[in-house]
Structure 1
Amino acid sequence: MDEKFKVRVTVAQWPTRSPVYHKPDGLRFAHPNTLKVRANQKYVVEAIITPAKTLTGMRIWGQTLFMTPVHERHHRDIARYSAIWCTSGYDVNKNKTRTFVPVMMEFKGEAVLLATVQCKVYPGDGDGGHYQWGQTLHSIDLDCKALTDGAYVDLISEKFVSSRTL
Protein backbone atom coordinates (compact mmCIF):
# COMPACT_ATOMS: atom_id res chain seq x y z
CA MET A 1 0.00 0.00 0.00
CA ASP A 2 1.30 3.48 -0.88
CA GLU A 3 2.15 5.65 2.12
CA LYS A 4 1.51 9.40 2.26
CA PHE A 5 3.71 11.70 4.31
CA LYS A 6 4.73 15.36 4.53
CA VAL A 7 8.12 17.02 4.41
CA ARG A 8 8.38 20.59 5.69
CA VAL A 9 11.62 22.25 4.57
CA THR A 10 12.74 25.42 6.33
CA VAL A 11 15.60 27.65 5.22
CA ALA A 12 17.24 30.44 7.24
CA GLN A 13 20.47 32.41 7.05
CA TRP A 14 23.39 30.92 8.97
CA PRO A 15 24.48 31.58 11.73
CA THR A 16 21.93 34.30 12.57
CA ARG A 17 18.87 32.29 11.53
CA SER A 18 17.57 35.48 9.91
CA PRO A 19 14.73 34.81 7.49
CA VAL A 20 14.98 34.20 3.78
CA TYR A 21 12.39 35.52 1.36
CA HIS A 22 10.33 34.28 -1.51
CA LYS A 23 7.97 35.80 -4.01
CA PRO A 24 5.14 34.52 -6.11
CA ASP A 25 6.03 34.80 -9.79
CA GLY A 26 2.76 33.57 -11.22
CA LEU A 27 3.21 32.24 -14.74
CA ARG A 28 6.33 34.28 -15.60
CA PHE A 29 8.65 31.31 -15.07
CA ALA A 30 8.43 27.50 -14.93
CA HIS A 31 7.47 27.49 -11.22
CA PRO A 32 4.98 29.86 -9.57
CA ASN A 33 7.29 30.70 -6.59
CA THR A 34 10.89 31.86 -6.31
CA LEU A 35 13.17 31.39 -3.31
CA LYS A 36 15.61 34.30 -2.90
CA VAL A 37 19.17 33.41 -1.86
CA ARG A 38 22.58 35.06 -1.98
CA ALA A 39 25.70 33.64 -3.60
CA ASN A 40 28.57 32.57 -1.33
CA GLN A 41 26.39 32.39 1.78
CA LYS A 42 25.49 29.67 4.26
CA TYR A 43 21.96 28.65 5.17
CA VAL A 44 20.57 26.27 7.75
CA VAL A 45 18.13 23.81 6.17
CA GLU A 46 15.74 21.71 8.24
CA ALA A 47 13.58 18.85 7.04
CA ILE A 48 10.64 17.92 9.27
CA ILE A 49 8.98 14.65 8.24
CA THR A 50 5.49 13.62 9.38
CA PRO A 51 4.86 10.80 10.12
CA ALA A 52 8.48 10.13 11.04
CA LYS A 53 10.68 8.59 8.33
CA THR A 54 14.44 8.13 8.38
CA LEU A 55 16.20 10.58 6.05
CA THR A 56 19.47 8.96 4.96
CA GLY A 57 20.71 11.68 2.62
CA MET A 58 19.98 15.05 1.06
CA ARG A 59 21.59 16.86 -1.85
CA ILE A 60 20.98 20.39 -3.05
CA TRP A 61 22.40 21.18 -6.48
CA GLY A 62 24.75 18.22 -6.18
CA GLN A 63 26.10 19.29 -2.78
CA THR A 64 25.73 16.55 -0.18
CA LEU A 65 24.34 17.94 3.06
CA PHE A 66 25.33 16.30 6.32
CA MET A 67 21.92 15.92 7.94
CA THR A 68 21.97 15.79 11.73
CA PRO A 69 18.92 14.33 13.51
CA VAL A 70 17.28 16.77 15.93
CA HIS A 71 15.48 14.86 18.66
CA GLU A 72 11.83 15.74 19.27
CA ARG A 73 11.02 15.27 22.94
CA HIS A 74 7.27 15.64 22.69
CA HIS A 75 6.52 14.41 19.17
CA ARG A 76 7.54 10.85 18.38
CA ASP A 77 5.64 10.91 15.10
CA ILE A 78 7.96 13.63 13.72
CA ALA A 79 11.51 13.26 12.41
CA ARG A 80 13.59 16.45 12.21
CA TYR A 81 16.95 16.85 10.50
CA SER A 82 19.22 19.88 10.18
CA ALA A 83 22.18 20.76 7.92
CA ILE A 84 24.18 23.66 6.54
CA TRP A 85 23.80 24.50 2.82
CA CYS A 86 26.42 26.69 1.17
CA THR A 87 25.81 28.64 -2.05
CA SER A 88 29.51 29.09 -2.85
CA GLY A 89 30.09 29.13 -6.58
CA TYR A 90 26.47 29.83 -7.51
CA ASP A 91 26.16 32.27 -10.41
CA VAL A 92 24.22 35.46 -9.72
CA ASN A 93 21.03 35.66 -11.79
CA LYS A 94 20.59 38.46 -14.26
CA ASN A 95 17.34 40.41 -14.38
CA LYS A 96 14.31 38.30 -15.32
CA THR A 97 16.16 34.98 -14.97
CA ARG A 98 15.89 32.16 -12.44
CA THR A 99 18.00 29.17 -11.45
CA PHE A 100 16.38 25.76 -11.09
CA VAL A 101 17.98 24.01 -8.13
CA PRO A 102 17.54 20.22 -7.92
CA VAL A 103 16.89 18.77 -4.47
CA MET A 104 17.16 15.06 -3.74
CA MET A 105 16.14 13.38 -0.50
CA GLU A 106 16.89 9.72 0.20
CA PHE A 107 14.85 7.80 2.75
CA LYS A 108 15.55 4.51 4.50
CA GLY A 109 14.63 1.70 2.14
CA GLU A 110 16.26 3.53 -0.80
CA ALA A 111 13.19 5.59 -1.70
CA VAL A 112 14.20 8.84 -3.44
CA LEU A 113 12.30 12.14 -3.63
CA LEU A 114 13.29 14.54 -6.40
CA ALA A 115 12.15 18.17 -6.40
CA THR A 116 13.20 21.40 -8.08
CA VAL A 117 13.23 24.75 -6.31
CA GLN A 118 13.19 27.88 -8.45
CA CYS A 119 15.71 30.37 -7.04
CA LYS A 120 16.90 33.87 -7.74
CA VAL A 121 20.55 34.15 -6.73
CA TYR A 122 21.69 37.64 -5.65
CA PRO A 123 25.22 38.92 -4.98
CA GLY A 124 26.54 37.70 -1.64
CA ASP A 125 28.10 40.92 -0.43
CA GLY A 126 26.50 44.02 1.07
CA ASP A 127 23.44 44.56 3.22
CA GLY A 128 19.91 45.18 2.04
CA GLY A 129 18.86 44.73 -1.53
CA HIS A 130 16.31 42.87 -3.54
CA TYR A 131 16.99 39.52 -1.89
CA GLN A 132 15.02 40.89 1.09
CA TRP A 133 12.00 41.91 -0.97
CA GLY A 134 8.98 39.66 -0.96
CA GLN A 135 7.41 37.52 1.70
CA THR A 136 9.26 35.97 4.64
CA LEU A 137 9.53 32.23 4.05
CA HIS A 138 8.27 30.00 6.84
CA SER A 139 8.60 26.73 4.94
CA ILE A 140 8.26 24.83 1.72
CA ASP A 141 5.71 22.09 2.38
CA LEU A 142 5.87 18.93 0.29
CA ASP A 143 3.05 16.39 0.20
CA CYS A 144 4.54 13.04 -0.76
CA LYS A 145 3.56 9.47 -1.49
CA ALA A 146 6.01 6.59 -1.06
CA LEU A 147 5.19 3.92 -3.60
CA THR A 148 4.97 0.29 -2.57
CA ASP A 149 7.89 -0.75 -4.78
CA GLY A 150 10.12 1.46 -2.61
CA ALA A 151 12.09 2.89 -5.53
CA TYR A 152 10.96 6.50 -5.45
CA VAL A 153 8.63 8.99 -3.80
CA ASP A 154 5.96 10.87 -5.74
CA LEU A 155 5.78 14.61 -5.06
CA ILE A 156 2.05 15.29 -4.92
CA SER A 157 2.17 19.02 -4.15
CA GLU A 158 4.53 21.81 -3.17
CA LYS A 159 3.49 24.92 -1.25
CA PHE A 160 5.53 27.95 -0.19
CA VAL A 161 4.26 29.08 3.21
CA SER A 162 4.85 32.67 4.33
CA SER A 163 5.41 33.53 7.97
CA ARG A 164 2.58 36.02 7.85
CA THR A 165 0.03 33.39 6.74
CA LEU A 166 0.46 31.31 9.89
Structure 2
Amino acid sequence: MVHNFKVILRIYALEDPTPVYFKPDGGRFEQANTVKLSKDTDYNLSFTLKPAMYIDKLMVNGELHKLELVKGKANDEDSNGRTYKTLFTTKGFEITKAGKRQEILIVIELENGVYMKVTLQCKVYAPGDKSHAQWGDKLSMIDMDCSLDPAHNYVTILKEKYL
Protein backbone atom coordinates (compact mmCIF):
# COMPACT_ATOMS: atom_id res chain seq x y z
CA MET A 1 0.00 0.00 0.00
CA VAL A 2 1.15 3.54 -0.75
CA HIS A 3 2.58 5.51 2.18
CA ASN A 4 1.61 9.03 1.00
CA PHE A 5 -1.62 9.67 -0.85
CA LYS A 6 -4.42 12.16 -1.34
CA VAL A 7 -8.11 11.94 -0.45
CA ILE A 8 -10.51 14.45 -1.97
CA LEU A 9 -13.95 14.76 -0.36
CA ARG A 10 -16.80 16.47 -2.22
CA ILE A 11 -20.27 17.19 -0.80
CA TYR A 12 -23.25 18.04 -3.01
CA ALA A 13 -26.96 18.25 -2.27
CA LEU A 14 -28.69 15.46 -4.18
CA GLU A 15 -31.46 17.70 -5.59
CA ASP A 16 -29.12 20.57 -6.45
CA PRO A 17 -25.67 19.61 -7.76
CA THR A 18 -24.03 22.84 -6.60
CA PRO A 19 -21.54 22.46 -3.76
CA VAL A 20 -22.39 23.25 -0.17
CA TYR A 21 -20.81 26.24 1.57
CA PHE A 22 -18.27 26.57 4.34
CA LYS A 23 -16.88 29.36 6.44
CA PRO A 24 -13.63 29.79 8.32
CA ASP A 25 -14.19 29.89 12.07
CA GLY A 26 -10.65 30.58 13.21
CA GLY A 27 -9.97 29.23 16.67
CA ARG A 28 -13.49 29.49 18.12
CA PHE A 29 -14.23 25.78 17.71
CA GLU A 30 -12.40 22.45 17.46
CA GLN A 31 -11.74 22.91 13.73
CA ALA A 32 -10.90 25.94 11.64
CA ASN A 33 -13.75 25.50 9.12
CA THR A 34 -17.48 24.84 9.35
CA VAL A 35 -19.43 23.09 6.59
CA LYS A 36 -22.98 24.40 6.19
CA LEU A 37 -25.73 21.82 5.66
CA SER A 38 -29.52 21.92 5.54
CA LYS A 39 -31.75 19.78 7.76
CA ASP A 40 -33.75 16.97 6.10
CA THR A 41 -31.58 17.05 2.99
CA ASP A 42 -29.92 14.24 1.04
CA TYR A 43 -26.29 14.73 0.01
CA ASN A 44 -23.84 12.91 -2.22
CA LEU A 45 -20.48 12.37 -0.58
CA SER A 46 -17.70 11.44 -2.97
CA PHE A 47 -14.21 10.30 -2.07
CA THR A 48 -11.39 10.31 -4.62
CA LEU A 49 -8.20 8.49 -3.65
CA LYS A 50 -4.98 9.27 -5.51
CA PRO A 51 -3.23 7.05 -6.33
CA ALA A 52 -6.10 4.61 -6.79
CA MET A 53 -6.92 2.53 -3.71
CA TYR A 54 -9.94 0.53 -2.66
CA ILE A 55 -12.35 1.51 0.07
CA ASP A 56 -13.67 -1.61 1.79
CA LYS A 57 -16.12 0.09 4.20
CA LEU A 58 -17.45 3.54 4.97
CA MET A 59 -19.19 4.58 8.18
CA VAL A 60 -20.76 7.99 8.77
CA ASN A 61 -21.76 8.74 12.37
CA GLY A 62 -21.53 5.02 13.15
CA GLU A 63 -23.80 3.95 10.28
CA LEU A 64 -22.43 1.69 7.53
CA HIS A 65 -22.90 3.26 4.10
CA LYS A 66 -23.14 1.54 0.74
CA LEU A 67 -20.46 2.74 -1.67
CA GLU A 68 -20.73 3.05 -5.43
CA LEU A 69 -17.58 3.07 -7.54
CA VAL A 70 -17.83 5.98 -9.98
CA LYS A 71 -16.59 5.11 -13.47
CA GLY A 72 -16.18 6.89 -16.76
CA LYS A 73 -16.28 10.49 -15.58
CA ALA A 74 -13.16 12.39 -16.60
CA ASN A 75 -12.98 14.53 -13.47
CA ASP A 76 -13.79 11.68 -11.07
CA GLU A 77 -11.99 8.58 -12.31
CA ASP A 78 -8.68 8.54 -14.10
CA SER A 79 -5.57 6.42 -14.23
CA ASN A 80 -4.27 8.06 -11.04
CA GLY A 81 -7.37 7.86 -8.88
CA ARG A 82 -10.46 5.99 -7.87
CA THR A 83 -13.72 7.69 -6.84
CA TYR A 84 -16.52 6.35 -4.68
CA LYS A 85 -19.80 7.98 -3.76
CA THR A 86 -22.50 7.40 -1.19
CA LEU A 87 -25.73 8.98 -0.06
CA PHE A 88 -25.77 10.85 3.24
CA THR A 89 -28.83 12.44 4.81
CA THR A 90 -29.41 15.04 7.51
CA LYS A 91 -32.89 13.67 8.26
CA GLY A 92 -33.19 13.45 12.03
CA PHE A 93 -30.46 16.05 12.63
CA GLU A 94 -31.26 18.96 14.93
CA ILE A 95 -30.86 22.54 13.73
CA THR A 96 -27.60 23.83 15.20
CA LYS A 97 -28.05 26.62 17.73
CA ALA A 98 -26.16 29.91 17.42
CA GLY A 99 -22.56 29.64 18.59
CA LYS A 100 -22.59 25.81 18.43
CA ARG A 101 -21.30 23.22 15.94
CA GLN A 102 -22.02 19.55 15.23
CA GLU A 103 -19.47 16.97 14.21
CA ILE A 104 -19.96 14.35 11.53
CA LEU A 105 -17.56 11.44 11.96
CA ILE A 106 -16.49 9.62 8.81
CA VAL A 107 -14.49 6.39 9.18
CA ILE A 108 -13.05 4.89 6.02
CA GLU A 109 -11.66 1.37 5.96
CA LEU A 110 -9.16 1.14 3.12
CA GLU A 111 -7.71 -1.99 1.63
CA ASN A 112 -5.57 -4.15 3.94
CA GLY A 113 -7.50 -3.08 7.07
CA VAL A 114 -6.20 0.49 7.16
CA TYR A 115 -8.46 3.07 8.85
CA MET A 116 -8.89 6.77 8.22
CA LYS A 117 -10.94 9.14 10.38
CA VAL A 118 -12.31 12.43 9.04
CA THR A 119 -14.29 14.77 11.29
CA LEU A 120 -16.42 17.42 9.61
CA GLN A 121 -17.42 20.38 11.75
CA CYS A 122 -20.90 21.38 10.58
CA LYS A 123 -23.72 23.73 11.22
CA VAL A 124 -27.19 22.50 10.23
CA TYR A 125 -29.77 25.07 9.14
CA ALA A 126 -33.53 24.89 8.63
CA PRO A 127 -34.57 23.62 5.20
CA GLY A 128 -34.81 26.51 2.75
CA ASP A 129 -32.69 28.86 4.89
CA LYS A 130 -30.60 30.10 1.97
CA SER A 131 -29.48 33.32 3.63
CA HIS A 132 -27.33 31.47 6.19
CA ALA A 133 -26.71 28.08 4.60
CA GLN A 134 -25.38 29.67 1.41
CA TRP A 135 -23.28 32.36 3.02
CA GLY A 136 -19.52 31.99 2.93
CA ASP A 137 -17.38 30.19 0.36
CA LYS A 138 -18.52 27.42 -1.98
CA LEU A 139 -16.93 24.15 -0.96
CA SER A 140 -15.80 22.45 -4.14
CA MET A 141 -13.67 19.96 -2.20
CA ILE A 142 -11.73 19.15 0.91
CA ASP A 143 -8.25 18.17 -0.23
CA MET A 144 -6.38 16.00 2.28
CA ASP A 145 -2.72 15.01 2.06
CA CYS A 146 -2.43 11.73 3.94
CA SER A 147 0.29 9.43 5.24
CA LEU A 148 0.30 5.82 6.32
CA ASP A 149 2.91 4.64 8.78
CA PRO A 150 3.74 1.06 7.72
CA ALA A 151 4.00 0.04 11.39
CA HIS A 152 0.36 1.03 12.06
CA ASN A 153 -3.03 0.54 10.44
CA TYR A 154 -4.28 4.10 10.51
CA VAL A 155 -3.96 7.18 8.30
CA THR A 156 -2.66 10.54 9.45
CA ILE A 157 -3.99 13.64 7.69
CA LEU A 158 -0.93 15.82 7.18
CA LYS A 159 -2.63 18.79 5.54
CA GLU A 160 -6.26 19.67 4.89
CA LYS A 161 -7.37 22.38 2.45
CA TYR A 162 -10.93 23.60 1.98
CA LEU A 163 -11.26 24.75 -1.63
Q: Give the alignment's TM-score, normalised by structure 2.
A: 0.91
Question: Number of paired residues?
Answer: 160
Pair 1:111–1:43, CA change in 2 (3 A)? same
Q: Percent identity?
A: 30
Pair 1:51–1:19, CA change in 2 (3 A)? same
SS of corresponding position for 1:129: helix
Please state how far the C-alpha of 1:129 moved relative to its aligned partner.
2.6
Match of residue 7 from structure 1? 7
Kindly provide the amino acid, as one letter, of the partner of residue 19 in structure 1.
P
Whole-angstrom CA distance in 2 between matches of 1:160 and 1:60: 20
How far does the alpha carbon of each residue in 1:89-125 deviate from its partner, in whole angstroms, 9 at most, with x for none? 111110011012211111010100012111001112x
Please state how far the C-alpha of 1:61 moved relative to its aligned partner.
1.5
Return 77-86 or 59-68, whichever deviates more: 59-68
Runs of 4+ that moved beyond 4 A: none
SS of corresponding position for 1:109: helix
Match of residue 63 from structure 1? 63
Whole-angstrom CA distance in 2 between matches of 1:90 and 1:2: 37
Whole-angstrom CA distance in 1 between matches of 2:73 and 2:104: 33
Q: Give the alignment's TM-score, normalised by structure 1.
A: 0.89
Residue 97 (str. 1) matches residue 97 (str. 2): no
Match of residue 154 from structure 2? 152
Please state how far the C-alpha of 1:73 moved relative to its aligned partner.
6.8
Q: How do 1:29-48 and structure 2 match up within 5 A? A: 29-48=29-48
Match of residue 21 from structure 2? 21
Pair 1:28–1:60, CA change in 2 (3 A)? same
Whole-angstrom CA distance in 1 between matches of 2:151 and 2:15: 40
Match of 2:142 among 127, 140, 148: 140
- How well do the aligned residues superpose, as a CA RMSD in angstroms? 1.7
Pair 1:71–1:17, CA change in 2 (3 A)? same
Kindly provide the amino acid, as one letter, of the partner of residue 139 in structure 1.
M
Please state how far the C-alpha of 1:127 moved relative to its aligned partner.
5.0
